[in-house]
Structure 1
């Protein structure tokens, strides 16, 4: 070859154009092997030999072997490729192809790593039961908390419960969770390469239902003009919802949390009517109830006649028959002058229980303490209930007050 010009890197051009040097195998050189997301990165493609003009083309393959293509959002079609700025989609294998009129050569692939994250964590809860502001699970259930915060290198995960570390790892499993484990759960994600952290927090509510069932009572209010039905079942998360219904399935009043009160006018006929307090809770689909029947009590005296010597002591006893007196009924003894016998009165001692009342008459005296009846000296005493509950009063007017009486005759022998 004569009259030729030798260029750098062994590229030979002949003045007469008779010969053209083919391109050598190119190589790719990035400014950095691992770039932080958001920074500027350049890749340079170079050949040692080859007659100009040269053409350059770039190809990108995803890290896990995806399709090869010119990466979107890149600048440059010549020997340099600019990532301005680099993002996570730019990670992968890069090759360049250089050609001239003689041949084309493709470089060996070069890997460019993009370091990023962690992104804001996403927390998932199993079983999945979202509610406003967080998630809920039933007590004694197995709960799995999972956290995902995309990052390169992968995130390191730390779990906090109410601000205190409880676990390290992407998944946190709590077997047979208890109400003490309710509260906030924070997933802390860390990129150890970039020394960056992100976090997310959820509120976990533990549903539990109180033991037992609803209780209910009925009492008189406002001078015996009204009957108040009260139902309660305290505790639980969320609180138990209570609602009164009549015996025909009609809802009465407004529902309440842990307690429900229904006020009825005593002017109407309430005797013999049934009322049901229904309880509802997410953990008890079948529900529970407490039932009341408004009825007049049945009373009975222990003995219909008591005989006592003058100066002696007599015991009179009465009790409520049937179900317990748990609806606010009161039992009282009255003397022959229709005065209620109360604790502290001279000559009388009163003892009472939930559904019984006993009266002891001390130092029986004739005739002052007696009333004459043919053939005997007697001290009549009546047991009365002035009951303003649904089970013991006829709620009708007039009369305003209804009593159930039994009488024990006490014979005082002089």
Structure 2
């Protein structure tokens, strides 16, 4: 009972002492060893006893060898220090060292036991994983990041990104999660999650490389070129603008025979024929799923040109040859004589050859009939076939421009004269009206007296119908035609009266007198004896 009473008193003293001053702090980690010092005293010590302060003091160890330690994990070191092996979280708490030497002294120690972080769990919702474990995602997609670690006390979790330099993306306790909504090229890099134990300072990191990929923005383009070193055909599949570079597969259509899996595919002449097709399949790691393709078709050239051209002596002329459908592009030559196909025209002071797209032009300067007139041939050739077209060039004397202008003017004047003559012949009334218009005379006066008489009876018979038509037209237009026929003679009087009947009567009287005189003349001629 006496011993128990002493321990209770000691516990009360330690509790008061501990609440007043916790003393030194020692930090250890789980499964590690730690040493708790009994004050700052060095040298010889008195009787040292260690206690654990829980709800009541617990004896742990004493320098009195007659008292065994509470656990083999406890031992004394120099200067009365308490050495604890294989720490566990249960060892966290308050400890007290009692020294009896010329009195009693108490030295409290607070032992903090830290655990972890042992492991870090990282999750990145990327698009996929490469064969080497590297994560990748598509440009413009959303990526979620999360990081979790177990530790005691709870760790501080922080995300870093190393693109151009290290940059913190935020920190939190125990776990840290965030999302990047629009992945871009500058967000490609190394993402590191760091978990730090705030008590022990122990830190663990997990670094994950994340790549940002994007497919080419447009469809692949197939093209054909002829190798400059050898007579082979090179198929090229261009699908640029993506990251990383896409993969390619060339096939021969129809049939799908695989030719190769590179961007550039070489074909020998034996593999070529008119109309043959070759297809390039392009695929990218982030899509599209069905890939993309383009087709190239091999064909011989087709030619078109004007069959004939004319050049004036001393002038210039241009012959044009248009090439269509040539794949690969054709080599174009101009020939002067088809019987000598190798004698191609070479550019110089007299000839100039211009290439424009799939066509060609030959310009001839200072045309000469002896030298330049004749057939010219445009020849187009590629690895599939050869085509040629001929153009006949005619060289002529220059035209007399002045003589041509004079001839045209003469023809115009002659035509005008013919038209005017016809108008005068068939429509004298029209001419009369036109004349009055220019003279500005009064249309109400008696203007025209027309006497129409034939010289012989044959002419009278032929003109009779014409005269009747003229009289009928005059009657319709003037409304006052007067017609007198006697002894085969026709007298036509046209009077325009403006309310003057006397003048019109006078006109009739004059016509009557004239008719009587002609009648008397005819009678006298009939009374003469026939000789």
**TM-score bucket of the superposed structures, by smaller chain:** 0.5 to 0.7
Q: Paired residue for 1:273? A: 276
CA RMSD of aligned residues (A): 3.7
Q: Deviations over 1:349-402 (max 9, x none)?
A: 2222222212211111121223xxxxxxxx2111111213xxxx24xxxxxxxx
Between 1:326-335 and 1:169-178, the stretch displaced more is 326-335
What is the rounded CA distance, in whole Å, between the counterparts of 1:91 and 1:144 in structure 2?
40
Q: Paired residue for 1:126? A: 125
- Give yes or no for contact 1:146–1:171 (8 Å, CA) kept in 2: yes
SS at match of 1:286: coil
Higher share in helix: 2
What is the rounded CA distance, in whole Å, between the counterparts of 1:8 and 1:266 in structure 2?
112
Q: Is 1:284 equivalent to 2:285 in the alignment?
A: no
Q: Which runs of 5+ in 1 are unaligned?
A: 1-5, 12-26, 49-73, 94-111, 371-378, 395-402
- Give yes or no for contact 2:330–2:381 (8 Å, CA) kept in 1: yes
Between 1:353-362 and 1:137-146, the stretch displaced more is 353-362
1:167 to 166, 169, 183: 169
Q: Paired residue for 1:240? A: 246
What is the rounded CA distance, in whole Å, between the counterparts of 1:158 and 1:207 in structure 2?
22
Query: Mapping of 1:304-383 within 5 angstroms?
Result: 304-321=307-324, 327-336=328-337, 338=341, 339-342=343-346, 344-370=347-373, 379-383=374-378
**Per-residue deviation, 1:127:** 3.3
Say which structure, 1 or 2, has more relative contact order (CA 8 Å, 6+ apart). 1
- Give yes or no for contact 2:301–2:327 (8 Å, CA) kept in 1: no
Query: Mapping of 1:67-216 within 5 angstroms?
Result: 84-87=85-88, 90=90, 114-127=113-126, 129-131=128-130, 132-151=132-151, 152-162=153-163, 163-169=165-171, 170-216=176-222
The size of the alignment, in residue pairs, is 324
Q: Deviations over 1:310-347 (max 9, x none)?
A: 111111112123x5x563323332233543344x4221
What is the rounded CA distance, in whole Å, between the counterparts of 1:91 and 1:366 in structure 2?
120
What is the rounded CA distance, in whole Å, between the counterparts of 1:126 and 1:268 in structure 2?
48
- Give yes or no for contact 1:122–1:149 (8 Å, CA) kept in 2: yes
Distance 1:298 1:75, change over 3 A: farther
Q: Deviations over 1:145-204 (max 9, x none)?
A: 222233323224141323421411222421110122112122233333323333221111
Q: Is 1:297 equivalent to 2:296 in the alignment?
A: no
Q: Which runs of 5+ in 2 are unaligned?
A: 7-13, 19-23, 36-50, 58-69, 74-82, 94-110, 398-531
What is the rounded CA distance, in whole Å, between the counterparts of 1:174 and 1:300 in structure 2?
60
Higher share in strand: 1
Q: Paired residue for 1:217? A: 223
Q: Kindly name which structure, 1 or 2, has the bigger radius of gyration based on alpha carbons.
A: 2
Q: Deviations over 1:255-296 (max 9, x none)?
A: 13xxx2222221355222111011111221111111111111
TM-score by length of 2: 0.53
What is the rounded CA distance, in whole Å, between the counterparts of 2:367 and 2:55 in structure 1?
130
